[in-house]
Structure 1
């Protein structure tokens, strides 16, 4: 089950993408993370539901320098998810 997660707040320039890569790999999830032009971070993840929900819960806090205001999720059924987890360029 692929899921799109959008994290809003002070989440760019604080190591959020590198942190997300570490968390996703620790949970055995596949997918990617990137910064968006509006200042948010976008993550597409795929894996077992328990691990997906754990990742979303971790995103509420993020790395220590982040200030997360909102985390929203939506299905990402049409998204092609790579094996492993990668950091992508900003969009």
Structure 2
């Protein structure tokens, strides 16, 4: 089903800290985003954080954002910094109609 371009879209930029690398956090987040039709991207940061951009209907993005507070079974999320973002942050992920895992930075 194609997204209605007139429908409101929420874009959030997340920085997730804790034991979030080496526990398949990015793979888990991609699966959760794909299941909900949320677009954006995720990647590991050199400091041990996971960074993500979530875009989609506000209620769906908020729900996924809340799930990120727990993450996959082996993760331990200590903190999530959340900021609203502009559509330009979707560009690193390529197409705006999917959720991708980017190379680490």
TM bin (shorter chain) = over 0.9
Report the equivalent of 2:17. Answer: 8
Report the equivalent of 1:84. Answer: 98
Paired residues in the alignment total 91
Which residue of 11, 18, 21 maps to 2:27?
A: 18
Report the equivalent of 2:80. Answer: 71
Q: Give the TM-score, by structure 2 length.
A: 0.82
Q: State the 4+ residue runs in structure 1 displaced beyond 6 angstroms.
A: none
Whether the 8 Å contact between 2:24 and 2:72 is mirrored in structure 1 is yes
Report the equivalent of 1:41. Answer: 50
Q: Within 2, Cα distance between the matches of 1:80 and 1:14?
A: 24
Task: Say which one has the larger Rg.
Answer: 2
Q: Runs of 5+ in structure 1 lacking a partner?
A: none
After superposition, the CA RMSD in angstroms is: 1.0
Q: Give the TM-score, by structure 1 length.
A: 0.94
Larger relative contact order (Cα-Cα within 8 Å, sequence gap ≥ 6): 1
